[in-house]
Amino acid sequence: MSTGQVDSADKPLAEKDLGGRHLTHPVPLLDGSPQMRAIMRIVENVADTDATVLIRGESGVGKDLVARAIHAASGHRDGPFVKVNCAAIPSGLLESELFGHEKGAFTGAYRRKLGQFECANNGTIYLDEIAELPLALQAKLLHVLQDFLFSRVGGDGLIDVNTRVIAATNRNVEHAMIRGEFREDLYYRLNVVELHVPPLRERKEEIPLLASWFLSRFNEQYGRTKQLAPETMTRLTEYSWPGNVRELENVIRRLVVLTEGEQEFRALAARGQNGHAGPPQPASVVTESLREIARRSAREAERHALVAVLERVRWNRAEASRVLKVSYKTLLNKISEHELTPSWRRQF
Ligand SMILES: Nc1ncnc2c1ncn2[C@@H]1O[C@H](COP(=O)(O)OP(=O)(O)OP(=O)(O)O)[C@@H](O)[C@H]1O
Ligand SMILES: [Mg+2]
């Protein structure tokens, strides 16, 4: 492992306690910069309390890993870690997803279903993209956070759970509160401890560590022996990483897997943060009917708008669906229809 500091009882918390038990890969690198070390110190301090933690930061900075680190260091570590992405579940189903429902509570409720809060009993529930929670559910969550008692949809018995709540968001919650989209009282309930995970461009010293770690991981995974040239490492360190650690991870994967991966990254770095997907398509020779032209143009315009908005909001799909005024589900369908991927993930 390339963490640089592996001996003694003083091993970093992430390595000591995550140990792969709650993660698909062990994570040695939650302490590669002063900012992350400060975060991990807070994690160690709060892990054993019941304090609700709100994790903030841009997409791809490592919020999920910090949440898992809190769980792994807490007294709930032997219980479940349940992640709920509040933006990915249609709002009509979210209440039942979180709190469960009784048989017959609504059409299609053929049997009782436990909610994620109950599934997370004696463990941790991680509410990702919390700012996407509809206002009515924000009210219910606020009550639950007060006494950890709630009822399933269509039921009146009160259920008591013992679960640690961690929430995360990459949205500007202050703006959401001003716009009346996020309850202030819920915000103050959630942010008993607030952790801000900074973007990777503000913790550049981690880039060589992370890059080497991803390199050895992907070399092993794909049976390669790829090395990074010193100038590539310099470029990696200088690049601004709008997609943060996730983007770095994907770039290294491509460097390992693709022969042109290195060239491709050089081009990406040269375009910098404001890179565009590519030159506009040349107009086709007119051989189509007007109706076909209209249909194709509408599709192209749709694709163009989707790419522009998604890149602008750094692939925050919830934000994109708001900007484009479509439901989250419609946006996901459109992304798959147009086979769109973030610029840093293309070809995977
Ligand atoms: N310190 C780290 N060491 C190793 N891998 C990391 C680290 N930080 C982030 N990653 C990797 O980067 C990717 C993104 O991390 P994560 O999912 O935790 O980000 P996030 O902030 O939750 O993003 P989003 O807002 O999009 O949900 C994951 O594949 C994760 O494993
Ligand atoms: Mg996340």
Are residues 87 and 23 part of one domain?
yes
Quick one: tokens of 104? 């017959």
Of 144, 165, 198, which closes a domain?
198
Are residues 218 and 238 part of one domain?
yes
Residue 279 resides in a domain: no
Residue 208 vs residue 282, higher pLDDT? 208
Residue 143 resides in a domain: yes
Are residues 311 and 255 part of one domain?
no
Of 250, 274, 298, which closes a domain?
274
pLDDT digits (tens, 9 = 90+) for 137-155: 999 999 999 888 888 888 8
How many folded domains does the chain comprise? 3
Are residues 79 and 147 part of one domain?
yes
* Residue 169 lies in domain: 13-198
Are residues 241 and 169 part of one domain?
no
Domain CATH for 225: 1.10.8.60
Alpha-carbon torsion (163, 22, 51, 97), positive or negative: negative
Give dist(CA 40, CA 62) in Å, integer.
12
* Closest protein CA for atom 27 of ligand 1: 59
Give dist(CA 15, CA 8) in Å, integer.
12
Domain CATH for 93: 3.40.50.300
Domain CATH for 309: 1.10.10
Are residues 212 and 98 part of one domain?
no
Are residues 97 and 140 part of one domain?
yes
Of 198, 232, 263, which closes a domain?
198
Are residues 49 and 190 part of one domain?
yes
pLDDT digits (tens, 9 = 90+) for 100-145: 988 887 888 888 889 999 999 999 999 999 999 999 999 999 999 9
Helices of type H across 223-289: 230-238, 244-257, 261-271
* Closest protein CA for atom 3 of ligand 1: 29
Are residues 223 and 111 part of one domain?
no
pLDDT digits (tens, 9 = 90+) for 153-203: 888 888 899 999 999 999 999 999 998 999 999 999 999 999 999 999 999
- Within 6 Å (CB) of ligand 1, which residues are found? 27, 29-30, 57, 59-65, 170, 210, 245-246, 249
The residue to mutate among 40, 169, 249, having the most atoms of ligand 1 within 8 angstroms of its beta carbon, is 249
Are residues 320 and 215 part of one domain?
no
Is the model's pLDDT at 282 over the cut of 80? Answer: no
